Structure 1
Amino acid sequence: MSAPERIPPRSVTATELLARGELKVRGRIREASNAALFCTVAYDGQEASCVYKPVAGERPLWDFPDGTLAEREVAAYAVAEATGWDLVPPTVLRDGPYGEGMCQLWIDATPESELLALVDGEEAGPGWKAIGFAEVGEGRTALLVHADDDRLRRLAVLDAVINNADRKGGHLLPTADGRLYGIDHGVTFNAENKLRTLLWGWAGEPLTAEAVGVLKDLGGSLADGGPLGTRLADLITAAELDATRARVDELLASGRHPEPSGEWPAIPWPPV
């Protein structure tokens, strides 16, 4: 008698694991301004580390009165997923030990000195893009620069679409396999222009052909009845969704990376 055929274990997607798995709190991430818990999640024989941010632990923000940080984090992942650029870790909205919240796959970052730097002088130099001058103590200033890196440039486009009001250096997570992820997208999608970021190095420059193609696809997906528009309608307000569509249209019309408006601080504080 022949041996029974072995059925290989079913592959579980990251979002399925996060959404359906048993969530266990292992500790608190103390650097976070809102409640952020380090957890493990296990489902169907697979386990991963993740971050769980319960809505109950969010501090109210006067300039983001609608919705929740958790919903906007999930909305940011939805847009990032639609771009195909894999810039935001898998993120879901689910119930947990402290109620509904955002659950995001944990990323083991490998710090790269090549992403941000302070340089003397007034020129960024080859391979770098200038952000602005920063005080470094004893009355001295230095030029803050970021790498002229395709991964960062894609992230700058994503931030312009989702209206990210808090793109800090600490929110950039490079990995050993060469990928780059952005995290902490709770203050995004405001109907008013609130773009605050360290990634101004391409301000006013033409968008890449790749970015234009992605934005055209986003525009179609964001339309009424489109898959992304339908998904975002459950996560952000109608006014915020309309503003997201308008930002995509404006980027395509200008064909350029946005520039600071001068109406508010363009760089978040602290920047790193």
Structure 2
Amino acid sequence: MSAPERIPARRVSAGAMSAELLAEGELTVRGRIREASNAALYCTVSHQGREAACIYKPVAGERPLWDFPDGTLAQREVAAYAVSEATGWGLVPPTVLRDGPYGEGMCQLWIEVTPESELLALVDAEEPEPGWKAIGFAEVGEGRTALLVHADDERLRRMSVLDAVINNADRKGGHLLPAAEGRLYGIDHGVTFNAENKLRTLLWGWAGEPLTGEAVDVLKGLKESLVESGTLAATLTALITAAELDAVRARVDALLSSAKHPEPSGEWPSIPWPPV
């Protein structure tokens, strides 16, 4: 994803005060992200001498989805950010729900992608090389197939755990943004939190493998914050349905019980299309 134009601005990091800037700053629309399936506007947001680039997705520009009939995509994006923050991993850019030029919508800090080694690759082999995890075989034309792999990268592994918790139905390669200082962010979380299991992702490389000790500790923290009086539960109650919140709790419990990364159910396609 690229901006329609370069906007000179004093960049604000994806850390402290970014959410405040997004929530309280003045939004100025600069262009539209044309490849997005729903309305996605590239903006600048300014407040008290600070300015940053951001994405604004108004609810009015969302296309209805039959299998996600409750709430809005914007609310789900904000809910994904809330869960990401609760993990302490910071895998989702600061995201808020706010009013804008075209009504209420999701506003998310724009992340500048930095060049780095590949996270995904197609290889002419039966097995991945060291440092890579197999996703599956893909057709590459003329009756040929190649092995689709992703990096054996701790950042991706954390992302796979987050996706399992929020039930991400659309983790594509283009939704993974390597950023400065070795950070990795995930974006486009509008189709998450369904009460039914809809996990579709490219990050199946650890399927069935034991969760890391770090992941188990994070999941235990989420479990504590998801009790009725918990901070995360209070935040999510305003964004998703009661049934969806119960499903989040159930997924966290299931992950802790198995202590393993989930595996594809085989009941539906486990990889989103197109994958990138």
TM range (shorter): over 0.9
CA distance in 1, matches of 2:89, 2:57: 24
Q: Which residue of 2 aligns with 1:259?
A: 263
1:176 maps onto 2:193 in alignment:
no
Instruction: Report the residue type matching 1:66 in the other structure.
Output: D
- Aligned counterpart in structure 2 of residue 81 of structure 1, from 81, 85, 109: 85
Residue 59 of structure 1: CA displacement?
A: 0.1
Task: Specify every segment of 5 or more residues in structure 1 that has no aligned partner in the other structure, as ranges.
Answer: 1-10
Change (3 A) 1:45 1:186: same
Query: Distance in 2 between the 1:39 and 1:111 partners?
Result: 23
Helix, strand or coil at the partner of 1:50: strand
Shift of 1:46: 0.2
- C-alpha displacement at 1:112, in angstroms? 3.5
Q: What number of residue pairs does the alignment pair up?
A: 262
For 1:156-167, list aligned pairs within 5 A: 156-167=160-171
Counterpart-to-counterpart distance in 1, 2:136 and 2:94: 32
Query: In the alignment, which of 23, 27, 30 is matched to residue 26 of structure 1?
Result: 30
Q: In structure 2, what is the Cα distance between the partners aligned to 1:110 and 1:259?
A: 31
Instruction: State how far apart, in whole Å, the 1-side matches of 2:118 and 2:43 are.
Output: 30
3-state SS of the aligned residue for 1:96?
Answer: coil
Structure 2 counterpart of 1:116: 120
Shift of 1:77: 0.1
Q: Aligned partners of 1:253 and 1:265: how far apart in 2?
A: 25
The one of 228, 235, 238 equivalent to 2:239 is 235
Mapped contact 1:111–1:173 kept (Cα < 8 A):
no
Out of 93, 97, 118, the residue aligned to residue 97 of structure 2 is 93
User: How much does 1:111 deviate?
Assistant: 4.0
Report 1:110-149 matches (<5 A): 110-149=114-153
- After TM superposition, the score normalised by the length of structure 2 is 0.94
User: 1 CA distance for matches of 2:174 and 2:16?
Assistant: 30
For the residues of structure 1 that align with 2:266 and 2:230, how far apart are their CA atoms? 34
Superposition pairs of residues 140-219 of structure 1, within 5 angstroms: 140-219=144-223
Q: Distance in 2 between matches of 1:265 and 1:141?
A: 18
Once the two structures are TM-superposed, the CA of residue 267 in structure 1 deviates from its matched residue by 0.0
In structure 2, C-alpha distance between the alignment counterparts of 1:44 and 1:159, rounded to whole Å: 35
Give the Cα–Cα distance (whole angstroms) in 1 for the partners of residues 247 and 16 of structure 2: 35
- Asked if the contact 1:12–1:46 (Cα under 8 Å) also holds between the matched residues in 2, the reply is no
Alignment RMSD, CA only? Answer: 1.0
The structure number with the bigger radius of gyration is 1
- Distance in 2, matches of 1:108 and 1:233, equals 31
Deviations 1:80-104 (A, max 9, x none): 0000001000000000000000000
**1:12–1:153 CA distance, 2 compared to 1 (3 A):** closer
Query: C-alpha separation between the residues in 1 aligned to 2:273 and 2:135?
Result: 14
Aligned-partner Cα distance in 1 for 2:29–2:241: 31
Deviation for aligned residue 1:131:
0.1
Residue by residue, what CA displacement relative to the aligned partner does 1:106-141 show, whole Å, maximum 9, x if unpaired? 000124442000111210110000000001111110
Q: Percent identity of the aligned residues?
A: 82
SS of 2:240's partner is: coil
| Equivalent position of 2:61 in the other structure | 57
